[in-house]
Amino acid sequence: MTLVLCKMISKQDERLISVLRSNARASISELARLLDMSRTTVQSRLQKLEQSGVIQGYKIDFGQDYLGSLVSAHVSIKVKQKLTAKTNIALKQLSHISALYAISGEYDMIAIVEAQSLEQLSQLLDEIGNLDGVERTNSAVILETKFQR
């Protein structure tokens, strides 16, 4: 399916996506000016990208000052196999989980959890551990980000 999507994207679409990656809040007028296209063309291309599923939505990128004030942890999660789908849905409902990855190995998933304090992180870890389907968790608090790409 990825190969099909890549063939659907023109060079102009790639340029539009690139601009949106750096500023998803740019207006149609601003996008048209930056890409040297008409507003109608930009709107049409954006609509096509959304309808085809290439663009599924827009998100907030937090500033480094805000992110630096959060306490973050990687939480490895072991799940009862028959309850994996139910557990995934429950984890998705927790707004403090910024990402959830299926992994190989002893644990089934790794969640990236971000909290305002150690106390809040502790409460979130308890909440995750008490979800139906979670057998056990193992947490590692992130002390410092050396670099991020």
- Is residue 92 domain-shared with residue 27, that is, in the same domain? no
If DSSP codes are grouped into helix, strand and coil, which group holds residue 139? Answer: strand
Task: Identify the CA nearest to 83 among candidates 108, 62, 111, 66.
Answer: 108
| Number of domains the chain is built from | 2
pLDDT of residue 91: 98
Q: Which domain holds residue 38?
A: 2-51
Is residue 108 over pLDDT 90?
A: yes
78 in any annotated domain? yes
Is residue 22 over pLDDT 90?
A: no
Q: How are the residues of the chain apportioned to helix, strand and coil, as percentages rounded to the nearest 5?
A: 45, 20, 35
Q: pLDDT category, 1, cuts 50, 70, 90?
A: very low
- Arithmetic mean of pLDDT over the chain: 91
pLDDT of residue 2: 46
Q: pLDDT category, 4, cuts 50, 70, 90?
A: very low
First to last CA, the chain: 26
88 in any annotated domain? yes
- Is residue 77 domain-shared with residue 127, that is, in the same domain? yes
Residue 136's DSSP bridge partners are 78
- Is residue 36 domain-shared with residue 99, that is, in the same domain? no
Q: What is the pTM of this model?
A: 0.68
pLDDT of residue 8: 66
Question: Could you count the other beta carbons within 10 Å of the beta carbon of residue 73?
Answer: 17
Q: pLDDT category, 81, cuts 50, 70, 90?
A: very high
For 133: left if phi > 0, alpha if psi spans -120 to 50, otherwise beta; the answer is left
